[in-house]
Amino acid sequence: MFLSLIAYAAILLFLGLSAYKAYQFSKLPLHGRMELYPVPKEKGFEHGGSFYEEISWWKKPREVSHVREIVEMFKEIVFIKTLFENQRPFWWLSYALHLGIYFIFVWTFLLVAGAVSMLNGIVVAANTTSVWGLLLFYLTYITGIIGLVLAALGSGLLVLRRMFDSTLKKYTTPQEYFNLLLLFAAVVTGIITWSSDFSFNSAREVTAGIITFTPFAANGLLVVHVILVGIMLIYIPLSKMSHYVGKYFTFHTVLWDNSPNLRGSAIEQKVKTATSYRPTTTWSAPHIQAPSSTKK
């Protein structure tokens, strides 16, 4: 029961706090334009071009490809493309961690799917006659092993790299080591907990117990693991590890924004609102006459 509560609370808080963070960013006032090319949705994307390459661009129909933007975002999310292109040695470690996390996400879903199937009488095992049960068993097995190993290696090696790289060492704060070590500890306690059964049958049973609020026998290690995962899930959206939220905004609404203030556009309405806003704080330098009229 206790572990169920922790699990549910942590997941809800992770989702809720992440969504709240996204909501806060989305509510920030209209900012000045700060695109950086290439901008994927522009038709001149290949050479980094924009609509400004055309004469009287405001008269031309705006041609944008949202599909291309989604494809580029997908490459960033799934492969961390920018890091791959610009700093390959670091990418191997960072990507191991991120890919490990993605696999663990999928693994968790598969554990839940397996637990739900089990509760509905489907046998999830290597020797089951059910195709679904067989599929779940093997997929859970593969994703779990890959996810746990990659995430542990990624987080562990990133800690070591930061400790022994003379440059990174100077810039890494104790909190940033703590962040990585928290991930490492959560993953490693998981590996130790499930090490007696890497087919994850016991993990599925624990998941079933958690889902149904059924009390089950939990050893000390499992309790520590669940608590660590719970703390990690709640801490991530509160820390800068919530960059999965920030990154959407840096790319989509800042670097790839590219929405000119055309007559009758939605942006024009936002500009209207922003320019009529009177700030409550003003700058103090002598050349600035109050009230301040900073760029809104």
Partner 1 sequence: MLDQKDLRPKDLGRPDEQLIKLETYNLMPLLPPYDKPGMQPPISEPKPAWREKYCASLDGFIGLDTLTRPQTKEEEDEFVRKFLSGLEKIFSDANNGILEPLLLSFEYCAKCNTCSEACHIYKAAGDNELYRPIFRSEVLRKVVKKYFTKSGKLLGGFVGADIDVNWETIARLGELAYRCNLCRRCAQTCPLGLDNSILSKEIRKIFSQEMGIAPTPLHNKGSMLQLKTGSSTGLTKPAFLDTLEFLEEDTEEKFGIKLKFPVDKKGADILVLHNAGEFIAWPENPVAFAILMNEAGLNWTLSSEMMGYDSVNYGLWYDDVQAKKIALAQMKAAKELGVNRIIVGECGHAHKASIVAGDRMAYGDAKVNVESCLPLLWDLVQSKRLKMDPSRNNFPVTLHDPCNVVRQMGIVEPQRNVLREICPQFREMTPHGVDNYCCGGGSGFAIMNALNFPQFRDNVASRMKFNQILGAFQGKMEDASQVKYICAPCSNCKGAMRAILEHYDATEKFNLQYGGLVELMVNALVSMKRPYFEFLE
Which CB, 82 or 214, lies closer to partner 1?
82
Whole-number Å distance between alpha carbons of 198 and 148? 11
Is residue 63 at the binding interface for partner 1, with CB under 8 A as the rule? no
Q: How far is the CB of 39 from partner 1 (least distance, A)?
A: 7
Q: How far is the CB of 57 from partner 1 (least distance, A)?
A: 6
Which CB, 109 or 283, lies closer to partner 1?
283
Let me know: does 143 contact 103? Beta carbons within 8 Å: yes
Asked, as a colleague might, if the bond just before 291 is cis with ω within 30 of 0, I would say yes
Is residue 60 at the binding interface for partner 1, with CB under 8 A as the rule? no
Which CB, 146 or 168, lies closer to partner 1?
168
What residue has token string 């790289």? 165
DSSP 167-191: HHHHH--HHHHHHHHHHHHHHHHHH
Using CB under 8 A, which of the segments 109-117, 203-211, 215-223, 257-265 binds partner 1? 257-265
Which residues ranging from 229 to 248 are in contact with partner 1 (CB under 8 A)?
240, 243, 246-247
The sign of the torsion formed by the CA atoms of 93, 94, 97, 102 equals: negative
Is residue 86 at the binding interface for partner 1, with CB under 8 A as the rule? yes
Whole-number Å distance between alpha carbons of 130 and 134? 6
Which residues ranging from 162 to 181 are in contact with partner 1 (CB under 8 A)?
162, 166-168, 170-176, 178
Is residue 66 at the binding interface for partner 1, with CB under 8 A as the rule? no
Is residue 284 at the binding interface for partner 1, with CB under 8 A as the rule? yes
CA distances from 294 to 31, 274, 278, 279 (A): 11, 11, 10, 9
Q: Give Dmax (Cα) for the chain.
A: 82
Q: How far is the CB of 243 from partner 1 (least distance, A)?
A: 5
Q: How far is the CB of 30 from partner 1 (least distance, A)?
A: 7
Is residue 53 at the binding interface for partner 1, with CB under 8 A as the rule? yes
Distinct helix (H) and strand (E) counts, the chain: 11, 0
Is residue 47 at the binding interface for partner 1, with CB under 8 A as the rule? yes
Which residues ranging from 17 to 46 are in contact with partner 1 (CB under 8 A)?
25, 28-39, 42, 44
Q: How far is the CB of 133 from partner 1 (least distance, A)?
A: 40
Residue at 204: amino acid letter: R
